[in-house]
Each structure stands twice: as structure tokens, then as C-alpha cells.
Structure 1
Amino acid sequence: MPMSSHETFNAESAVELAVIERSGFIESRHVGAAVLIAGDGSVVTRLGDIDAPVFARSTLKPFQALASMQSGVPLRGAQVAVACGSHTGSLDHMDVVEGMLKAAGVREEHLQCPAAWPQDETARSWLVRSDRGQSKLAFNCSGKHAAFLWACTENGWDLRSYLEPNHPLQQRVRSVIEEYCGEPISHLGIDGCGAPVAAISLIGLARGFSRLAKSPGDPSANARAATIATSMLDYPWAVQGRGESNTIVMEELDVLAKIGAEGVLVLATPTGAAVAVKVLDGNVRATALVGLTLLAASGAVDVAAVSSVLERIVEPVLGGGRAVGRIRLGHAVSALLD
């Protein structure tokens, strides 16, 4: 029976991507799907059902930022990166977003993302000490929303309805996603920040990031797409946060990295080799291990450099405050290293 466009793949069409080992005992298993494509868009490695739709969640932010820029928003430098980011709400992040709002002629209360405590401890302490409380600026999607509002003020579009699917900006977002990913959106939902979120296939997502990552070296590419890829690598702290997984990958490997909620991760090299991963149970802890291993196994990135990065970003399994186990590759992925 064909799968409905209103659901993602199931466990029967998934593979074991990673396992959690504690004290020599396999405690948990993460199943999912992953795809690695070459720079020409051809599939190099296929694990599980890569054609089924998944909600791509925050991995879509670079395309949403591109739609804002194509609507006339003059983003520059860290502004571009934070518009593409799922940030930790540091003081630097909030400063950049506040500057975007000021340039757009709007205020924090115009943001329609929820107010939140920042993940960043320094920023959280400052909000508590100053009696400011939770802030919309601290929400991890505030950069994207600030860019959305700026697009509205540039075009005279309604500010109150900027998240509605039929809003001119969201129509442009949809067109950009479909253009870059090379397939129609199969389902549209509401993301955690309130914005529309698209369901597309993993292979479509990988191809979209491949095209984006190649843009700086392609004279025929969209100049704004090239700016996005360059800015994410130039300001990786603005995409997630200093010391965070995506930031370290971009700093050390020169690879675009964008995590999404519910176990989604996309990676792409400047030559267009790209990986898209979806862990079916929604846990993100194995995504970087799986994605970077696929790139390294294909020769798209240096194996030693990947090993060094994984040592920094893959959290150990702890017992009593010391390492008693590890996340390790499932057989479907480890077999690629033989």
C-alpha cells in the first residue's frame, strides 16, 4: 500500500542508524533514514526510505531566509546567519536580531514567535537579573522572524498575517523550497515557532542544500544564495551558538550544517556533496555522528578531521559523572567504513 503524504516513513522502511551502549550493553537503538548525494545530485548512499516526506523543520531556514532576501531584505553578515539559524539566544544573538528589527522599523512585540528563556546561560542570567523575563528575541527562530518582518516592511505587506500560508512572503518561501529541493511540497504544517513548515523528502532536502552550498563557486548561481552559504560559514556562531554542534562542524570542516527538530540534520560541502538524516524517534543525538560518517566514508571530507570533530560534539554516555558507554554507529552505517 502506498504511503500517505500525511505521514512519514515507518520503522519497517527504516534502518538502524545508531545504538546507545552503556556498560557493554546496547540500551537503545535509533532507526531512521539517511541519504548521501554527490555534487551532481546523484545518490551515493541510500539508507532507508529517502523518498518519503518528512517535516524538514529548521533545516528549511536558509531557504526561508533566501525568500526574505529575494523580497528585498538587505541582510548582511551575521544578520544572514542568524536568519538561517536556530540560535541559543546569547546576548550577541539578541543584539543582531534587535538590530534587524530596528532596521525594519518594527519592535520586538511584532515578532510572532513565542517568548522564551535563552538556552545561553549568560543571557538567561541577564534576563533574570534585569527582571526582563522571557523574550521573543531569545527564541531560537527570532532571526528568521525578524527577516520575515523586514520583508513585509520593504514591500508594504501586512505585518499581522506574515505567518499565514497565503501571505505573499510565505508563498515565496514555498516557491524557493520547491525550486531548490526540486520537488513539490507534499504537506504544509505549523512549526514550533508558528511559521509554516514543509514536508519534503530527504533526497529533496539534500539536493536543496547541495545547490545552496555550491552557490559561492558557481558564477551562474543566485547571488543571494551564495551570500547565505558564505555567511553561514563566516558567522557559524550566529547559526547556532559558540561551542554548539553545528557551529563546530562549520568552523572546523567548512561544511554547512543545519539541525532541525525531531531528529533532522543536513550537511553540505562546498563541492555539493550533501547528507540528509532523519532519526525516526525524533532524537537528534546521533544525527551528527551518522551524517559526518557518511561524508567521511565517501571521501567528501577528511576522515581525521571528522574524527576530531566527533570527539568534541558527540556526547558520552555517563554514569556517576564519568563515561560508561557511547553512541556508536548501527551496522547499516558502520558497514560503509569497511
Structure 2
Amino acid sequence: MRHEPLVEVWRDGLPESVHYGSLVVLGPDGAVRFALGEIDAPCYPRSTAKLMQAVGLVRLGLDLPPDLLALAAASHSGEEFQLAGARRILDTCGLTEHDLGNPESLPYEAEIRDVWLAAGRPARKLAHCCSGKHAAMLAVARAHGSSTADYLDPGHPLQRALADTVEDLTGEHIACVAVDGCRAPLFAVSLRGLARAAGRIAAAPAGSPERRVARAIRRHPEMLAGPRRDVTRLMTAVPGLIAKDGVEAVQVVGLPDGTAIALKIADGGDRARMPATLAALSLTGTTLPGPLGMPDSLRATFGA
């Protein structure tokens, strides 16, 4: 991909480092309001794809209370209430942690992981940040009478249906199918397509699967990530905004009117992701209540 400078790191009046990336801001009509870098080249959305996967699961009949639906779209921190939520999803379909296809893991968030290790607790499937998504996938597979042992196979009816949802929401064909870190299929699309999907979900009409997902994560942003995570703080700070991060420094944001942002930091370094996101939000006229904990040394190279 052809990337551009997005964020600089400054020290005592001089730029010390620079993070390159690509970024697009779409208006409610889908037109490009601002772009840097290569917004039409395929890239891996990583966990930002969970918004689309959750919509696909609801289209297939997933019926969960809002807190658990938000967890189905989550990269959760490993809080005990999140693990309990994943167990509740599994309980709805008579399955257990053993049936999850994601790897065993320690909690995602460092503070929780440290406490976990200090207590001598081992890695487990339920602690993986994607366990809510996997539990929801299993619930849908079981409800449809499909096999659960191979629910992560790209050829499984569940995964084919989710791929169709990704193509529908992004408005483009999947460029490549890979395996994500949680062992689920990963569909490569463009940043423009990711932003288009985020905008459609954020501005979806009442009663639609997209609206159900957006409403769930607006009501329960603590389930989508964790109380101390930046995407949770951002959603709490800006009413109606939905946001999802992904590893390798991918981020999507959708506003209630359908305005949307998608970005990728080229080096995969997470420290540049939120400064670039906040600068892009400033281009949309969104009022941000303070720096949301961003260091003054991180400065976007674009924006107002």
C-alpha cells in the first residue's frame, strides 16, 4: 500500500519519529471527504470486521440481549463480567468453553493479565479477546443445525454467509481470505469499504440487524472492549458514535448520520492509531471533550 505520514512523535520541539498510514473519511452519502494514502487497496481489517460479522450473525437469526450482542462484536479485555457473558452465550446453545475454536489465551488487557498471572491462572479459551464472537458463531451454527466442530472453515455455511454480509456492507468483493489470530476466516477489503460498512451500521434504520448491533454497542461500550480501553472511552465521550479497533493498528468509526472513518497505521504500531482517529474526527466537526488521554508528544500531521 502507498502510505502517507499520519502521526509524528515530538520531543522538546523536534519531531523524533513518524508513523505512516492510510485514512479515509466518508460523508453520509458515501463520498470521500478526506483521504490520505491508498484507500482502495485491499487490507486486513482484523477485529474491525467484528462489526460486520455481528450484523451477519443477527441476519442469520442470532437473538441476544444487548449486552451479549455487544460482546459478540467485541475484542474484550478479559474482565470477569466479559468472560461470564461469553459463558452465557454458550449456555444458550448447550455448548461449553471446550467447543470454542479460538486458541487458549491470557486476558488481552495488561492490567488484567498481570492480576491473572499473579493468581497462577492458566491461559484458557474463554479469556481470549474473541471468545464472545466465537460463542455467538457457535450459537448460530447450532441454531441452523450446522456442524460446530468445523464452524471456522471458510467453506462452512456460516462463514460463507458472513462473507456475503461483508461484501454487502462494504460494497465490494473480498480480495483475499486469510486466517485471523483467533482462527476465524479473515476477509481482505479496502479502507473505503470498511468506512462504508461502518457508516451503514451507524446510521441504519430502526429494526434492521445493523441497527441492533449499533444500539447494542452504544448501550454497552464496556462489553465491546473494556472500561479502560480507548475505544470505550471514545464511545462514551461522543454520544451515538460507534468505534472498533483491530490489531496491526486498524480503526473504524461511524457517526449517527453515516459519516465514517477507516484507517490503518502502516507499521502496525498502536500508539498512532487513536491520535490519527481523533484528528480525523476533528475533520468531521465532531466535538471531542479533551484529549482522551493522548500524550501531547503525539501529533497528527493533518486535520484542523
- Quote how far apart the aligned CAs of 1:154 are: 0.3
* Residue in structure 2 matching 1:164, options 144, 149, 153: 153
Specify the alignment match of 1:62 in structure 2. 51
- 2:265 is equivalent to residue 279 of structure 1: yes
- Quote how far apart the aligned CAs of 1:132 are: 4.5
Specify the alignment match of 1:6 in structure 2. none
- 2:10 is equivalent to residue 18 of structure 1: no
Check whether the contact 1:71–1:154 (CA below 8 A) recurs between aligned residues. no
What does residue range 130-141 of structure 1 map to in structure 2 within 5 Å? 132-141=121-130
Deviates more, 1:288-297 or 1:78-87: 288-297
Distance (Å, rounded) in 2 between the aligned partners of 1:128 and 1:30: 35
What does residue range 1-338 of structure 1 map to in structure 2 within 5 Å? 9=1, 13-120=2-109, 121-122=111-112, 125=115, 129=119, 132-215=121-204, 218-219=205-206, 223-254=208-239, 255-299=241-285, 301-302=286-287, 306=288, 308=290, 311-314=291-294, 316=295, 326-330=297-301, 333=302, 336-337=303-304
Check whether the contact 1:63–1:177 (CA below 8 A) recurs between aligned residues. yes
Q: Are residues 123 and 326 of structure 1, via their aligned partners in 2, closer, same or farther at CA, if it must alter by over 3 Å?
A: closer
Distance (Å, rounded) in 2 between the aligned partners of 1:213 and 1:35: 16
Question: Where do 5+ consecutive residues of structure 2 fail to align?
Answer: none
- Quote how far apart the aligned CAs of 1:307 are: 5.1
**With structure 1 as the length reference, what TM-score do the two structures score?**
0.86
Check whether the contact 2:237–2:289 (CA below 8 A) recurs between aligned residues. no
Q: Are residues 77 and 127 of structure 1, via their aligned partners in 2, closer, same or farther at CA, if it must alter by over 3 Å?
A: farther
Q: How large is the RMSD of aligned CA atoms in angstroms? A: 1.6
One-letter amino acid of the counterpart of residue 247, structure 1: T
Secondary structure at the aligned position of 2:281 is classed as: helix
Displaced runs of 4 or more, over 6 A: none
Check whether the contact 1:289–1:329 (CA below 8 A) recurs between aligned residues. yes
Check whether the contact 1:267–1:276 (CA below 8 A) recurs between aligned residues. yes
Distance (Å, rounded) in 2 between the aligned partners of 1:39 and 1:161: 39
Check whether the contact 2:73–2:133 (CA below 8 A) recurs between aligned residues. yes
- Quote how far apart the aligned CAs of 1:73 are: 1.9
Larger Rg: 1
Number of aligned residue pairs: 302
Distance (Å, rounded) in 2 between the aligned partners of 1:105 and 1:92: 20
After superposition, what is the alpha-carbon deviation per residue over 1:198-242, rounded to whole angstroms, capped at 9, x for unaligned? Answer: 110100100001000001xx25xx622111001111100000000
- Quote how far apart the aligned CAs of 1:247 are: 0.2
One-letter amino acid of the counterpart of residue 229, structure 1: A
Check whether the contact 2:102–2:182 (CA below 8 A) recurs between aligned residues. yes
- Quote how far apart the aligned CAs of 1:24 are: 3.1
Check whether the contact 2:78–2:112 (CA below 8 A) recurs between aligned residues. no
After superposition, what is the alpha-carbon deviation per residue over 1:164-186, rounded to whole angstroms, capped at 9, x for unaligned? Answer: 10000000110000000000000
- Quote how far apart the aligned CAs of 1:126 are: 5.3
After superposition, what is the alpha-carbon deviation per residue over 1:287-329, rounded to whole angstroms, capped at 9, x for unaligned? Answer: 2221222222232x12xxx251xx2332x3xxxxxxxx61111
Secondary structure at the aligned position of 1:312 is classed as: coil
- Quote how far apart the aligned CAs of 1:124 are: 5.7
Secondary structure at the aligned position of 1:137 is classed as: helix
- Quote how far apart the aligned CAs of 1:123 are: 6.9
One-letter amino acid of the counterpart of residue 313, structure 1: G
Check whether the contact 2:8–2:15 (CA below 8 A) recurs between aligned residues. yes
Secondary structure at the aligned position of 2:270 is classed as: coil
Distance (Å, rounded) in 1 between the aligned partners of 2:151 and 2:272: 35
Distance (Å, rounded) in 2 between the aligned partners of 1:177 and 1:42: 20
**With structure 2 as the length reference, what TM-score do the two structures score?**
0.95
Distance (Å, rounded) in 1 between the aligned partners of 2:72 and 2:101: 15
